A and B are shown apart, each in its own frame.
Chain A
Amino acid sequence: MRLERRAQASRRLGLTVPIVAVLLGLAVGGLVIRLGGTDPLLAYRTLFAAAFGSMEGWQATLTQAAPLMLTGLAVALPARMGLWNIGGEGQLTMGAVAATWVALYEPLPGWLLPVGMLLAAFAAGAVWALIAAVPRGILGLNEIIVTLFLNYIAVDFMGFLVNGPWGDKSAIGFAYSRAIPNRADLPMLAPSLSIGVLIAFAVALVAGWIVNRTPAGMTMRLVGSGTHVSCYLGLPIRRLTAIGFGGSGAIAGLAGAIQLMGVTQRLEPGISSNYGYCGILVAFLAAESITGVVVGAIIYGALIVGGLALQGAGVPFDISLVVQALTILFLVSGQAALRYRIAMGRGAGAAAIARAGR
């Protein structure tokens, strides 16, 4: 028995691996729940009922899924170009800061206000990502480190704003900004679901089209496949890197605006709720596929909603995190299954060598 490298992973296998990883994550997570003295089946029933069992559940799940979809795209899109954007958290935060600034200090008339806020968030996210793209393009600095550190700067900058100049003086003991005007709220689709989720779906649709159907998408894949090919074809790598990074930052920034205008109504430290980091996991779960990001974001949203419901039933919320972590672990193992296969006997392995060498 030996491992062989696959020439090409089939599409069906590409779908099977994440599904099996999620199921295994739930199964092993169930063992952990059992150790905690709760019936895992009951716990999972509670979890799924909370996330999908009612209209309220669906609304909550989709509300969670919307920002995750955007931050997931913000990782998956540059990953196609071989770039790692770990800065979704910071880009989302800066998006929310910019949108708040428009709402509090540049009160545009009528419907221009929400549109202006969205645009400001879009631009702020892009700028925050470009801060990482420029040193990479010129000095070759690692974008992972730069985007990661920019997260801390963004979060602390927001902390300064809500504790200081933008703070709500009436809320003693709580650090959050003054509320944005009501007319800046996103329209609601349902009692507790804003159109933010539609914006996220639309962005995913456009991104999917660009990536899979347009010349620009093909260029992205070429850049992602290595500098030799790109140089050979004369592609402007630095400019494309900047566009890719800026675009992905803009998408993450949009998530900040959607949170602000659809959920929190004010700038507050918890506004990102780790969506930036979870987006990395969503993109990973999706193996950089756009459809995968949409599905993965909904699954993650459900886990968050379900986890909160479990907490109400006496199981710690952390169980949901355990299930998430297990899922990722199984997924990483599953990646090996995508690249290799197990062959029985020595003949098959030798055959592969022969095919390569003959």
Chain B
Amino acid sequence: MVAGKAPSAPAAVEALGVTKVFNGRPANLDVYFHAFAGEIHTVLGENGAGKSTLTSMLAGVYRPDSGEVRVRGRKIAFHSPRDALRAGVGVVYQEFHLVENLTVLENALLGTGMRPWGRKRDAVGDQARQAGFDLPLSAPVRLLNIGHRQQVEILKLLLRDPDVLIFDEPTAVLGEAQVGELFATLDRLRRRGKAIVLITHRLREVRMVADRLTVLREGRTTAAGRRPAEFTDAALTELMVGPGTGAPARTREPAAMGEIVLRLVGVHLSSRSGSGLRGVDLAVAAGELVGVAGVRGNGQREIAEVAAGLAPPGRGRVEHAGGDVSFIPEDRLGMGLCRRMTIGQNLALRCYRKPPIGRPWQIDRAALQSLAERQIARYGIPARADRIVTQLSGGGLQRVVVARELDQRARLIVAAQPTRGLDIRSAEFVRRRLVEAAERGVGVLVISEDLDELMAMTDRIVVLYEGCVAADVPRSDFDRQYLGTLMLGARNDRHAS
């Protein structure tokens, strides 16, 4: 950050002791935050720490119950996001608000009242170039990948020339390479004197781009406007989750290999989006934890469904050692859970047809209840068994899925993006359960876009690139940069044989 500037110039945007209470529960309690022009300021916190509440107040979605929001030193009462935008504060939300069938240009100008032709077209093009975006202006948005869609969102905002850009967990939806591109964009905007607020719960991103950081925990500020260099990762983690929890994922020793529990031989599978699979060979032994890395769209979704036995391969063979396969699907709410059922019923989805719960003419409700209570206690699911499952947050939902799948005692677990979007505690919890399963002798296949996660927990990482296995890297050769380049399609020279 531009250190000398901070004390004299007023902050581009600041929150002074803001409090916001929902249903008697404070989401923000006396929170302080200020971001200056020309800096990237990260707001760190777990899910539920109050990050979104804070940004919503900065962006005019709602007003604080007490405390005040200031823009360039002046107290402001926003009545709507539009007011905030007029005052120069804009947000890039995690969910995109784009019209798929309109072009990039049309989307960018939507709501500005400007017409998408003539000089305006050039203006948009200029703006995009300045931001470093290489966007096809006349292509419909539905043809764009997720990284480019995000760029359209940013472009939309830039056309309204804000001083403050708030990014709400922008990396949650991106692959490894796209994160790099996004951060380059953030850097360019910083140089242009914008104040960038970056909401995240990933420490690595703080290290990569942040000038300063503010940490929230349970609605309170635990650090405000500090420099990242002041803290170790452990110290930051403690600020986020409180003392004594959230140790980083345990690294493990390679287990003694047992028999093969999953084998893919020359598997092909076509796909409507992404590359599909084009001749994948893969084996997972009992007790082995194998990771699948790759940029989104290179066959991860397909390999998960094939390995779990849900999708028959177009060509090739899939061999299972027998018995059930536990599958933690990527789409936990759409596929892994039944929205209309209670937590207890969802926990029983794999076993309600079998004794002791399922008897031919009746479901034993007492048995179901006791199973549910046991699992709720063991997996720390934060609600009662008779609640509808959708009342849980992301972390709670995933705990339900993991509880049910691991309880099957299958010999193979396939986990697709098992920690995506989870708070630190739940993510760590899920990883630990998977490691434990491998230690019990279960074969585990983890498909993840989080390379750090895979490097921390797996014995081996298989890199998928355009539907093929680009490399099969043993734990001894784990190296972030090396794996990263493999994911982008670099040739596997180091292991050429």
Interface contact A347-B62, CB-CB below 8 Å = yes
The residue from A218, A228, A354 contacting B22, defined by CB atoms under 8 A apart: A354
| A270 close to B (CB within 8 Å) | no
- Asked, given contacts A215-B353, A232-B327, A232-B336, whether A354 binds B363 with beta carbons under 8 Å apart, the answer is no
Q: Which residues, 320 to 342 on B, are CB-close (under 8 Å) to A?
A: 327, 329, 331, 334-341
Interface contact A228-B48, CB-CB below 8 Å = no
Interface contact A221-B327, CB-CB below 8 Å = no
A124 smallest CB distance to B (angstroms): 27
The CB with the most chain B CB atoms within 10 A, among A221, A225, A228, A354, is that of A354
Q: Which residues, 1 to 51 on B, are CB-close (under 8 Å) to A?
A: 20, 22-23, 27, 47-48, 50-51
| A12 close to B (CB within 8 Å) | no
The residue from B52, B327, B337, B361 contacting A229, defined by CB atoms under 8 A apart: B337
Chain A residues within 8 Å of B47, by CB: 358
Interface contact A229-B335, CB-CB below 8 Å = yes
| B345 close to A (CB within 8 Å) | yes
| B53 close to A (CB within 8 Å) | yes
| B390 close to A (CB within 8 Å) | yes
B192 smallest CB distance to A (angstroms): 29
- Asked, given contacts A215-B352, A218-B363, A232-B327, whether A354 binds B27 with beta carbons under 8 Å apart, the answer is yes
Q: Which residues, 360 to 381 on B, are CB-close (under 8 Å) to A?
A: 360-363
| B350 close to A (CB within 8 Å) | yes
Interface contact B62-A354, CB-CB below 8 Å = yes
A10 smallest CB distance to B (angstroms): 12
| A203 close to B (CB within 8 Å) | no
Chain A residues within 8 Å of B310, by CB: 231-232
Interface contact A355-B361, CB-CB below 8 Å = no
Give a binary string over A339-358; 1 marks a CB under 8 Å from any B CB, 0 the rest: 00000001100110111011
Interface contact B52-A357, CB-CB below 8 Å = yes
Contacts between chains A and B (CB distance < 8 A), count: 79
| B144 close to A (CB within 8 Å) | no
| A213 close to B (CB within 8 Å) | yes
| A139 close to B (CB within 8 Å) | no
- Asked, given contacts A7-B388, A218-B345, A358-B50, whether A225 binds B340 with beta carbons under 8 Å apart, the answer is yes
CA distance A217 to B360 in the complex (A): 11
- Asked, given contacts A215-B352, A221-B338, A225-B340, whether A350 binds B362 with beta carbons under 8 Å apart, the answer is no
Q: Which residues, 11 to 49 on A, are CB-close (under 8 Å) to B?
A: none
CA distance A55 to B332 in the complex (A): 57
| B406 close to A (CB within 8 Å) | no
CA distance A234 to B156 in the complex (A): 44
Interface contact A354-B56, CB-CB below 8 Å = yes
Name the residue on A nearest B23 (C-beta): A351
The residue from B27, B53, B329, B391 contacting A232, defined by CB atoms under 8 A apart: B329
| A233 close to B (CB within 8 Å) | yes
Interface contact A351-B338, CB-CB below 8 Å = no
| A214 close to B (CB within 8 Å) | yes
Interface of A is mostly: helix
Interface contact B50-A214, CB-CB below 8 Å = no
CA distance A218 to B352 in the complex (A): 8
A341 smallest CB distance to B (angstroms): 14
CA distance A226 to B335 in the complex (A): 9
- Asked, given contacts A215-B352, A218-B345, A350-B61, whether A228 binds B362 with beta carbons under 8 Å apart, the answer is no
Interface size class of A (residues with CB under 8 A): 20 to 34
CA distance A228 to B352 in the complex (A): 18
Chain A residues within 8 Å of B352, by CB: 215, 218
| B488 close to A (CB within 8 Å) | no
Name the residue on A nearest B62 (C-beta): A350
Q: Which residues, 198 to 249 on A, are CB-close (under 8 Å) to B?
A: 209, 213-215, 217-219, 221-222, 225-226, 228-229, 231-233
- Asked, given contacts A218-B345, A350-B56, whether A355 binds B339 with beta carbons under 8 Å apart, the answer is no
Name the residue on B nearest A7 (C-beta): B391
| B157 close to A (CB within 8 Å) | no
A76 smallest CB distance to B (angstroms): 16
| B349 close to A (CB within 8 Å) | yes
CA distance A213 to B434 in the complex (A): 34
| A170 close to B (CB within 8 Å) | no
B416 smallest CB distance to A (angstroms): 12
Q: Which residues, 130 to 186 on A, are CB-close (under 8 Å) to B?
A: none
- Asked, given contacts A228-B331, A228-B335, whether A214 binds B362 with beta carbons under 8 Å apart, the answer is yes
Chain A residues within 8 Å of B345, by CB: 218
| B358 close to A (CB within 8 Å) | yes
Interface contact A221-B335, CB-CB below 8 Å = no
The residue from B20, B339, B362 contacting A213, defined by CB atoms under 8 A apart: B362
A152 smallest CB distance to B (angstroms): 35
Chain A residues within 8 Å of B350, by CB: 233
Chain A residues within 8 Å of B51, by CB: 358
| Other contacts beyond A222-B338, A229-B349: 13, CB < 8 A | A7-B388, A7-B390, A209-B361, A215-B360, A218-B363, A228-B334, A229-B335, A232-B327, A232-B329, A232-B335, A232-B336, A351-B22, A351-B62
Could you list 26 examples of A-B contacts with CB < 8 Å? A7-B391, A213-B363, A214-B361, A214-B362, A215-B352, A215-B359, A218-B345, A219-B353, A221-B338, A221-B341, A225-B341, A229-B334, A229-B335, A231-B335, A232-B327, A232-B335, A233-B349, A347-B62, A351-B62, A353-B56, A354-B20, A354-B27, A354-B52, A355-B22, A358-B27, A358-B50
Residues of A within 8 A of B (CB): 7-8, 209, 213-215, 217-219, 221-222, 225-226, 228-229, 231-233, 346-347, 350-351, 353-355, 357-358
CB-CB nearest 6 A-B residue pairs: A350-B62, A215-B358, A228-B335, A351-B22, A215-B353, A358-B52
